[in-house]
Structure 1
Amino acid sequence: MAETSIPENELERILSLADFDLDYTNHQDSFKDLARLAAKVAGTDISLVNLIDTFTQWTVSNHGLDLDQMPREDSVCQYTIMEQDHFEVEDLSTDARFKDKFYVVDSPKLKYYYGIPLKNDDGYNLGALCVLDTETKEISPEKIELLKIIASEIVNRLKTFKAIDALKLKLDDATEKQKKVAHDIRGPLGGIIGLAQIISEQGKDNQIDEVLEFINLIYKSGRSILDLADEILNSDKPQAVKSDEFNLLLFKDKLEKLYLPQAKNKNIIFKIKVSPASGSTPFSKNKLLQITGNLISNAMKFTPNGGEVIVDLNLKIKKGEANLLRIKVTDTGIGIDKQTIRTILSGSAESTDGTGGEKGYGFGLTLVKHLIESLKGTLNIYSEPEQGATFEVNIPQA
């Protein structure tokens, strides 16, 4: 069985990570410059920006090693998030915890590791910035301080992306108000610009340089605000799916990209079905990747090699009331007894190991239940021992 390392504040930590509502496939370019800079500072061939959720280490950006994800129990960074300052392994090939891992035994045959926790403002380690090499290294204290600065900048960018997403949502909600403001400011600004232009032309005749310069500034400032008003007025052109939305087809593609590698790794058949009638209707993607991803990873954990995990996505259109998004994750795994189902739904489930020896963390389903309730949704579980399990999530959509 793989050895695992779990922080004492694990539930709070994964809740903090879920609060960022990240799509782990979308940030490769967002941190690429920082990953490259970290490797250059440390003098290593490889650097990774890793975020660690309940089951998986997601490499959101990499330099020198083409890696997207790996099981949490196989990672070195699972130990880094246990630390306050750093975690270092001088030779992975002689450390009992790592010497048999695929990245040590096979290409690129890594030896050296140095990781710094990615700590948020509440003190929770969301993941790690790590530098790695095929040769042993020694990093000076000055370079370590620079790596810590880079790690802080990674967290700052995560916070910035979250703020931008929140702002986009507010802007979408305030479209009509924006249009009214834009109309209100456009008329007076047009008059100011026209007046400034007339004065500017008269000033040229009189060669009043100071007045000309001042009026030119007014003209340029007014012009830029007028352009902004036009941009706001034109921003409500028809758009099938906004940045904070999915439809069933997009949702299906995203889940396949994220979780097909895990299914192939365990030799599990993984299928996603969508209801064709509502496949292109948009709905909020808020927390959906975190909810569904945890259910899929949990299903794969308890499904043996050669088994199946099927995801069924359905959006029920209701006239005059909220649409209903239904997500069903069904597996052919070891099943759950009624007492365990009651324990899960009460939010007090304990961890158990998976069919392939994967170490349980005991927090995935607790996180899912918390997120579903925050969206005013419901969770149902249908299962019998040795008969597989179905997790059904219903979330109302405005």
Structure 2
Amino acid sequence: MVFPNNEFERLIRLSELDLDFTALEVSFEDLTRLAVKVTGTQMSLVNIIDAHTQWTLDDLGLGVKQAPRENSVCQYAIMSDMPLEISDLRIDERFTSRDFVERLDGLRYYIGIPLQLESGINIGTLCVLDSEVKSLTPEKVEILLIIAETVVERLKSMQKIQSLNASLHEAYLSKKQAAHDIRGPLSGIIGLSELINKKGMSSKVEGLLQYISMIEKSGRSLLDLTDEIMSEDNKSPVDDLELSLSLFKEKLLRLYQTQAKSKGIQFTVNVDSGNESVRFSKNKLLAIVGNLISNAIKFTPNGGIVTVTLVLALILEEKLLEIIVSDNGQGMPEKAIQQILDGKAETTSGTSGEKGYGFGLKLVKELVVSLNGQITLSSDFQRGTEFKILLSQLI
């Protein structure tokens, strides 16, 4: 597997997009169709490359959703800001022995256009492929560059919409909190007026009854307003930025079951049955847990087990999310554990020879810290590893 010199910076920038690969599958269909039409090729894909996996956001003609990063052609395309064109994959020593090339009907032509968030930060590719040897004219390559820019602008727009929705969500929560904060004093005011009336004190002071009535009426009006705010049936304006335990489980199975099956690994996700429908922010969660799962699969042998356990506890005005990712793989020595906890993970090879460079776990550490969370790690060498993440969110 190859990686750019700025790989960790690239992964951080990619994580800021906070992409949900289960919810973007049709967002770029118009652009892949346009790329095929312009180039006269058979296939086109929009791919995002994270620390372990190439995720296909849209696929026209090839029928893939994900692939190990080390097996992809696009990993080479993100090494440069320039397009990577290979007229015949059979004569490129990097790909001659790959299954998708060796077949009689295998791939021959490839061109990948880096998806650049900014100069040197390439998060993936727009690529077109064909089963015949080809070469594109400069004019057609130029159009592909424009299409790739459009993909990036669409991704940036999605990020801005998410940011706006997050701001709306904060305002929504602030409104409900403010209503909660003023309800108590208002109830006290109303209670005071009721007590004065009940004891008949208003009849002993001239004009007091009228004022007590006004206080009670105003207090009840404000109290009704706060109750309305607190009991709104309207959904928060950011349901797409939230998860429940059951939805989180569904997404993780959709994203990583294929990877596990390809290595003969049993992958399960267990959720706490008590609060499985309670919603919480999904900010960076898919990136954090996804990297831990991919890493666990990488270091677990055929026939092994990778398990994710999700627990949500409600404590006073706080949601405490506990995420445990465990495996019965090869485990880690003490030195490696400390390097991960210090954010200095190094490269190692997986149980099937997969290559890695420690960037995924370093990213997990960075993201958990950015969310003011906690990460702990326990591992028995040759017996397995368990990561535990604790994240707190206000209700």
Residue 176 of structure 1, CA deviation: 8.1
Q: Match for 2:254 among 254, 257, 261?
A: 257
Cα deviations across residues 229-253 of structure 1 (Å, max 9, x unaligned)? xxxx9xx644388111000000000
CA–CA separation in structure 1 for the residues paired with 2:131 and 2:22: 27
TM-score (norm 1): 0.82
Partner of 2:222: none
Say yes or no: does 1:38 pair with 2:46: no
Paired residue secondary structure (1:278) = coil
Partner of 1:325: 321
Cα deviations across residues 29-51 of structure 1 (Å, max 9, x unaligned)? 21110011111111100000000
| Preserved contact between residue 88 and residue 134 of structure 2 (Cα < 8 Å) | no
With 356-365 and 254-263 compared, the bigger mean Cα shift is at 356-365
CA–CA separation in structure 1 for the residues paired with 2:112 and 2:36: 12
Q: Describe how 1:1-398 pairs up with structure 2 within 5 A.
A: 4-106=1-103, 109-121=106-118, 123-175=120-172, 237-239=233-235, 242-320=239-317, 322-398=318-394
CA–CA separation in structure 2 for the residues paired with 1:360 and 1:121: 25
Distance 1:375 1:101, change over 3 A: same
CA–CA separation in structure 2 for the residues paired with 1:330 and 1:286: 22
Runs of 4+ in 1 over 4 A off after TM superposition: 176-179
> Structure 2: which 5+ runs fail to align?
177-228
Distance 1:265 1:44, change over 3 A: same
Partner of 2:208: none
CA–CA separation in structure 1 for the residues paired with 2:247 and 2:175: 29
Residue 177 of structure 1, CA deviation: 8.6
RMSD: 1.8
Tell me the amino acid that sits aligned with residue 5 of structure 2.
Answer: E
> Structure 1: which 5+ runs fail to align?
180-232
Tell me the amino acid that sits aligned with residue 344 of structure 2.
Answer: S
CA–CA separation in structure 2 for the residues paired with 1:394 and 1:13: 26
Residue 100 of structure 1, CA deviation: 2.3
CA–CA separation in structure 1 for the residues paired with 2:357 and 2:131: 31
Taking only the aligned residue pairs, the percentage that are identical comes to 49
Residue 178 of structure 1, CA deviation: 9.1
Cα deviations across residues 323-361 of structure 1 (Å, max 9, x unaligned)? 110100000110012221111101111110101000112
Residue 107 of structure 1, CA deviation: 7.9
Paired residue secondary structure (2:239) = coil
Distance 1:36 1:336, change over 3 A: same
Tell me the amino acid that sits aligned with residue 311 of structure 2.
Answer: N
| Preserved contact between residue 323 and residue 390 of structure 2 (Cα < 8 Å) | yes
Tell me the amino acid that sits aligned with residue 248 of structure 2.
Answer: F
Residue 106 of structure 1, CA deviation: 4.2
Residue 95 of structure 1, CA deviation: 2.1
Cα deviations across residues 85-113 of structure 1 (Å, max 9, x unaligned)? 11111111232211222322348511100
CA–CA separation in structure 2 for the residues paired with 1:339 and 1:139: 50
Distance 1:12 1:394, change over 3 A: same
| Preserved contact between residue 80 and residue 120 of structure 2 (Cα < 8 Å) | no
